[in-house]
Chain A
Amino acid sequence: MLIDTVIFLPLATAIVLLAIPRTAHNALKGVALAGAVATFALSLAFINLGTSVAADQNVPWIQTLWTAAYHVRVDGVRLFFILLTTLVAAVSIWGAFSYDQPERLRGYLCLLLAFETTLLGVFTAADLLLFYIYWDLMLIPVFLLLTGFSGTAEARRAAWSYLIYNGAGGLVLLLGIVALVAHTHTFEPAATLSLPARTAWWIFAAFALAFAIKTPLFPFHAWMPPTYTFAPAPVVALVSGVQSKAGLFGLLAFALPLFPQAAHAWAPVLLILATAGILYGALAAIGEQDVKTLVGFSSLSHLGLVWLALFAFDMTSVPAGILMIVSHGLIAAALFLLLGFIEERTGTRDLARFGGLAWQAPRLAVFLLIAAMAALGLPGLSGFAGEFLILIGSWQTQPVFTALALVAIVLASVYMLKLFQGTMHGPQRLGQAAPSVRDLRPRELALVAPLLAGIVFLGVWPAWLNDRTPSQVTAAAAVTRVGGVPDSPHAAHTASAARKAAAGLQMQTARRADGMVAEAGS
């Protein structure tokens, strides 16, 4: 099966690597990259397999007190998570070639590949047990990469906060899943649930807490700054670019469809946290001197926007959230990899010590400029498309929170320009210690290029993605909406809106996307 091949090819590649002597660096690199690129190439085949459900495989697995299945699926939502994973993973593994402890390169590449398999497992799992298993397994490669392969004491400390935070989140999720299964006796997510409202409220809270820690959502982000700052660039590219989307995926694939009423009940709290995170992340990024921490806080801000999109329960904002997820994945991966290159060359991440790099490394400057512009939401790049559609959508239902979030869009320009100008423009402050900074090597150029191409592509043609997601996601959103809590203030007007939307929804989304593109082009 294609789907199993895609999931397990990285792991199989890692096992093959173990058979290669650890000193044969070129062979190790070649095999690892070949495996990752082949995974990406195979995952591209899902695009043409159909839009609603591209692949589905369901094998009974455990049939005891409860049933669980090895159930994996690729559909309109999962497709983009998978493509993002395989692309960013391939790029990160290529980026890992310049690892500074060559004698440990084999273990490093193996763990990155194993990490890719766990991520693909999370994004394909259609069974809650399978989902949880991959969810918790993600901890191990990242923990080991942080402790054993980053080489600094700070990264080893960061491994702790990563493990304890995410491990605790995982256990809360497990408690939620077990509570659900205690009612349904199956790990297969049911289409309709007859849970007592109170139970559903608690279970949704458990799911949401775990997902909030993983994203992270303010104020559960304490593990994020040290992890993003001290982990090696390829690891951060995967953690920030891909793993941070696992929580959002869990919301889209499981929590929202399973517990629509509870989601509505919790929405006010989550919207407040999301908006607080959007603003806090932006302000923290402005005050930050460490370039990687700065980008980390900008992620907090941007992913808060996705939570806003999902819990605005709007027909436009929910699919736009997916666009934003993919866009942020590409941008974060590109930024962290580029900052990693800069750190390799200069040995510092401190904005106060940079300056004038554009003079010596013009290609690096151009690439960083593109990624930074995408992050601050320049029209024509993917960041703008995602933010714009989210704000259009969420304005319909949550004008107050949307207005607050708009402030952060302005702040994004401040911190991204600060990042770019601080490193590339102005006087050269590196001093004699680093007399000349090399420009991007061909390998580095080639590995970041696909990410930037994706950013531009989604920037000019967001409908390519939006047209493929709606049927699934908007259906979920419609269920969420129509099934709103009867006594919630939204229920009355959302119900009628939902009826209207059910008809002209997909077209509306497409129109908005096209309108946006036209605007961007002018």
Chain B
Amino acid sequence: MTAFAGVTISWPALAPILVLTGAGLLIMLVDLVSRATLRGLLYGIGILGAVGAGLTMLPLYGHSVTTLAGAFASDRFSWLFDLVLLGSLAVTLLLSSLRRAEDGGSPGAYAALLVFAAIGGMVMAGAANLMIIFLGLEQLSLALYVLAGMGYPRAASQEAALKYVLLGSLASAFLIFGSALLYGSSGGLSLDAVHAAASVPSGLFVTGLALFVVGIGFKLALAPFHSWVPDVYEGSPLAVTAFMAVAVKAASLAVLARVTYVVFGHDTSALAPLWLLAIISMLVGNVGAIRQRNLKRLLGYSSIAQVGYMVVGLAGVGPQGLSALAFYLVAYALTTLGAFAVMALLADGGEEYADLGAYPGLAARRPWPAAAMALFFFSLAGIPATAGFYGKLLLLAEGLAAGPWGLALDVTLVVGTVVSLYVYGKIVWDMYSFTEPEAVVPTGNALPSWVAVAAGALGTLVLGLAPQLFAMSQPFLSVGPR
């Protein structure tokens, strides 16, 4: 602890972010020296930075520290989200390292932007103050606006960047305006102050909260604020899409969960609109995925539905629900990153392997990538022995404990899952049904992609078979002291 201009700072709590910032700056320095030749080094620094940040997190486990005058919390809750963010950063860098065509000829800028985006996410995960939430969100978003367009030789990538900027800034505008109204009604920027105002909600407060939720809903891509997802996911570079699908969701969920938890405590009656958004998302995401012929678009729709599932974990606003949400998030991150890793593996730096027309017959020619893909889809569909199954189990239990809205959420979750059986089953069906592939056999076999695929598959199976490893015996997630 040191005091700085009257504010006490807990350096250990900030260490992960600082380490990662150092890695980002180092990438920019090395990039000055040599742009093209040290490509591997640039990505390596990023990955090492993620690992280093992860190591500095180890002593923080189980501690709750609030620092920067209560604006930033480091607790079990942010710890887990940081872990997901760092993991997705490392995997994204791993996958990007092979995809020369998609970093805009500037690997240094690409890698550094990814690192800074992850820092933005980690700031969001620990933010306990409306201003910090917005700062983190903007850092994450601005980096991603650029990254979405990095595959600019393809027109789709430019289109994705433009759409993402326009709708993303609109969402930011909602969020900052909502924050301003919340500040106006509560007289403070900290979530505690907002909590105090929640007991006697004024019109100003309700409007502010609604705008805030709409802003976060855009970032999370909850239906009906999801319209940007398919195009942006399709157009962005493959690895960036993977990062969007996991890191952006994780960081935004962290904000949503912390705001819900801190502001409303155990009184969820005011949150009916949020449950409605979740219900619509589960339906729109799964039904929308049915007709997709592009795997990136399909995973985009799927992510809409998966976020809807995760919101069910908030229905009871309690530590158990947060645990369920966090478990499902980890399961989702492992399987989604794994699925993108399989795509990257098959593409091997070349043309994206996103067209579903290329998947029939894959199992006959590339049995192991096909088996891994099938495993990830089974996990997304919630088949037992995978992490996704146990996550759904926890979420269903949380919903059942949360009254009529919880029951409605549960039933929608089940209906959505049945629809998703078709969505994911269709791809498995394609891969296994045909012995003669209609398209060229993919030859990709790069080691970094294999590492990512294996990590995802192993994690999915281990969490599915031994969920107790995910320490849930204690009040596992708690949002730091209020």
C-alpha gap A172/B433 in the complex (Å): 28
On chain A, the residues within 8 Å of B392 by CB distance are 174
Known contacts being A137-B385, A139-B383, A156-B429, is A64 close to B468, with CB within 8 Å? yes
Looking across the interface, which residue of chain A has its beta carbon closest to that of B434? A148
Q: How far is the CB of B131 from chain A (nearest CB, A)?
A: 36
Q: How far is the CB of A109 from chain B (nearest CB, A)?
A: 15
A64–B400 CB distance below 8 A: no
B418–A160 CB distance below 8 A: no
On chain B, the residues within 8 Å of A62 by CB distance are 467-468
The yes or no answer to B37 lying at the interface (CB within 8 A) is no
Looking across the interface, which residue of chain A has its beta carbon closest to that of B410? A175
A147–B472 CB distance below 8 A: no
B422–A160 CB distance below 8 A: yes
Known contacts being A143-B425, A167-B418, is A174 close to B393, with CB within 8 Å? yes
A65–B397 CB distance below 8 A: yes
The yes or no answer to A432 lying at the interface (CB within 8 A) is no
A64–B425 CB distance below 8 A: no
B385–A147 CB distance below 8 A: no
B384–A136 CB distance below 8 A: yes
The yes or no answer to A310 lying at the interface (CB within 8 A) is no
A104–B435 CB distance below 8 A: yes
On chain B, the residues within 8 Å of A135 by CB distance are 384
B418–A171 CB distance below 8 A: yes
The yes or no answer to A159 lying at the interface (CB within 8 A) is yes
Stretch in A176-184, A227-235, A286-294, A298-306 with 4+ CB within 8 Å of B: A176-184
C-alpha gap A75/B417 in the complex (Å): 35
The yes or no answer to B378 lying at the interface (CB within 8 A) is yes
Q: Which of A287-326 contact B (CB under 8 A)?
A: none
The yes or no answer to A351 lying at the interface (CB within 8 A) is no
Q: List 26 A-B contacts (CB under 8 A).
A: A64-B468, A64-B472, A65-B320, A65-B394, A65-B397, A129-B393, A133-B385, A135-B384, A136-B383, A143-B428, A144-B432, A147-B429, A148-B363, A164-B425, A167-B381, A168-B421, A171-B382, A171-B417, A174-B393, A174-B396, A174-B414, A175-B396, A178-B396, A179-B400, A182-B400, A182-B401
Of the residues A140, A163, A172, A182, contact of B397 by C-beta under 8 Å: A182
Q: Which of A260-300 contact B (CB under 8 A)?
A: none
A-B contacts counted at CB < 8 A amount to 87
The yes or no answer to A220 lying at the interface (CB within 8 A) is no
Looking across the interface, which residue of chain B has its beta carbon closest to that of A61? B468
Looking across the interface, which residue of chain A has its beta carbon closest to that of B425? A163
The yes or no answer to B473 lying at the interface (CB within 8 A) is yes
Q: How far is the CB of B463 from chain A (nearest CB, A)?
A: 12
Known contacts being A143-B425, A182-B401, is A63 close to B378, with CB within 8 Å? no
The yes or no answer to A8 lying at the interface (CB within 8 A) is no
On chain A, the residues within 8 Å of B393 by CB distance are 129, 174, 178
The yes or no answer to A132 lying at the interface (CB within 8 A) is yes
On chain B, the residues within 8 Å of A61 by CB distance are 468
B397–A178 CB distance below 8 A: yes
B414–A171 CB distance below 8 A: yes
On chain A, the residues within 8 Å of B396 by CB distance are 174-175, 178
| B356-391 to A contact mask, C-beta < 8 Å, 1/0 | 000000011000000000000010011111000100
B383–A137 CB distance below 8 A: yes
Q: Which of A196-238 contact B (CB under 8 A)?
A: none
Q: How far is the CB of A186 from chain B (nearest CB, A)?
A: 12
Known contacts being A64-B473, A160-B425, is A132 close to B384, with CB within 8 Å? yes
C-alpha gap A178/B398 in the complex (Å): 10
Looking across the interface, which residue of chain B has its beta carbon closest to that of A171? B414
Q: How far is the CB of B426 from chain A (nearest CB, A)?
A: 9
On chain B, the residues within 8 Å of A139 by CB distance are 383
A65–B472 CB distance below 8 A: yes
Known contacts being A133-B384, A163-B425, is A148 close to B397, with CB within 8 Å? no
On chain B, the residues within 8 Å of A137 by CB distance are 383-385
C-alpha gap A174/B394 in the complex (Å): 11
Known contacts being A65-B320, A143-B425, is A175 close to B468, with CB within 8 Å? no
On chain B, the residues within 8 Å of A143 by CB distance are 425, 428-429
On chain A, the residues within 8 Å of B472 by CB distance are 64-65
Looking across the interface, which residue of chain A has its beta carbon closest to that of B393? A178
Interface size of B in residues (CB-CB distance below 8 Å): 35
Q: How far is the CB of B308 from chain A (nearest CB, A)?
A: 16
C-alpha gap A261/B470 in the complex (Å): 38
Q: How far is the CB of A305 from chain B (nearest CB, A)?
A: 30
B473–A63 CB distance below 8 A: yes
| A153-166 to B contact mask, C-beta < 8 Å, 1/0 | 00010011001100
Q: How far is the CB of A193 from chain B (nearest CB, A)?
A: 16
Interface centre among B320, B428, B433, B467 (most CB of A within 10 A): B433
A159–B429 CB distance below 8 A: yes
A164–B385 CB distance below 8 A: no
Q: How far is the CB of B277 from chain A (nearest CB, A)?
A: 22
Additional pairs, 17, CB under 8 Å, beyond known A136-B389, A156-B433: A65-B397, A101-B435, A104-B364, A133-B385, A137-B385, A139-B383, A140-B378, A140-B383, A164-B418, A164-B422, A164-B425, A168-B418, A171-B382, A171-B418, A172-B414, A174-B414, A178-B397
C-alpha gap A63/B474 in the complex (Å): 11
Of the residues A101, A136, A147, A174, contact of B432 by C-beta under 8 Å: A147
Known contacts being A148-B363, A163-B421, A164-B421, is A63 close to B385, with CB within 8 Å? no
Q: Which of A100-140 contact B (CB under 8 A)?
A: 101, 104, 129, 132-137, 139-140
| B438-473 to A contact mask, C-beta < 8 Å, 1/0 | 000000000000000000000000000001100011
Looking across the interface, which residue of chain A has its beta carbon closest to that of B420? A167
| B393-433 to A contact mask, C-beta < 8 Å, 1/0 | 11011001100000000110010011001100100110011
Looking across the interface, which residue of chain A has its beta carbon closest to that of B367? A107
| B307-324 to A contact mask, C-beta < 8 Å, 1/0 | 000000000000010010
On chain B, the residues within 8 Å of A156 by CB distance are 429, 433
A160–B429 CB distance below 8 A: yes
Q: Which of B159-216 contact A (CB under 8 A)?
A: none
Looking across the interface, which residue of chain B has its beta carbon closest to that of A151? B435
On chain B, the residues within 8 Å of A159 by CB distance are 429
C-alpha gap A66/B433 in the complex (Å): 40
On chain B, the residues within 8 Å of A160 by CB distance are 422, 425, 429
Looking across the interface, which residue of chain B has its beta carbon closest to that of A144? B432
Q: How far is the CB of A95 from chain B (nearest CB, A)?
A: 22
C-alpha gap A66/B432 in the complex (Å): 37
On chain A, the residues within 8 Å of B418 by CB distance are 164, 167-168, 171
B433–A148 CB distance below 8 A: yes
C-alpha gap A174/B388 in the complex (Å): 14
Looking across the interface, which residue of chain A has its beta carbon closest to that of B361? A148
B397–A181 CB distance below 8 A: yes
Q: How far is the CB of A105 from chain B (nearest CB, A)?
A: 13
Known contacts being A62-B467, A64-B468, A65-B472, is A133 close to B389, with CB within 8 Å? yes
Looking across the interface, which residue of chain B has its beta carbon closest to that of A159? B429
Q: Which of B279-321 contact A (CB under 8 A)?
A: 320
C-alpha gap A301/B147 in the complex (Å): 62
On chain B, the residues within 8 Å of A178 by CB distance are 393, 396-397, 400
Looking across the interface, which residue of chain B has its beta carbon closest to that of A143? B425
C-alpha gap A167/B429 in the complex (Å): 15
On chain B, the residues within 8 Å of A175 by CB distance are 396, 410-411, 414
Q: How far is the CB of A140 from chain B (nearest CB, A)?
A: 7
Q: How far is the CB of B156 from chain A (nearest CB, A)?
A: 32
C-alpha gap A64/B279 in the complex (Å): 28
Known contacts being A156-B429, A159-B429, A175-B410, is A63 close to B383, with CB within 8 Å? no
C-alpha gap A66/B400 in the complex (Å): 14
Q: How far is the CB of B324 from chain A (nearest CB, A)?
A: 9
| A43-76 to B contact mask, C-beta < 8 Å, 1/0 | 0000000000000000001111110000000000
On chain B, the residues within 8 Å of A132 by CB distance are 384
Q: How far is the CB of A132 from chain B (nearest CB, A)?
A: 7
C-alpha gap A104/B363 in the complex (Å): 11
On chain A, the residues within 8 Å of B421 by CB distance are 163-164, 167-168
Q: How far is the CB of A157 from chain B (nearest CB, A)?
A: 10
Q: How far is the CB of A345 from chain B (nearest CB, A)?
A: 24
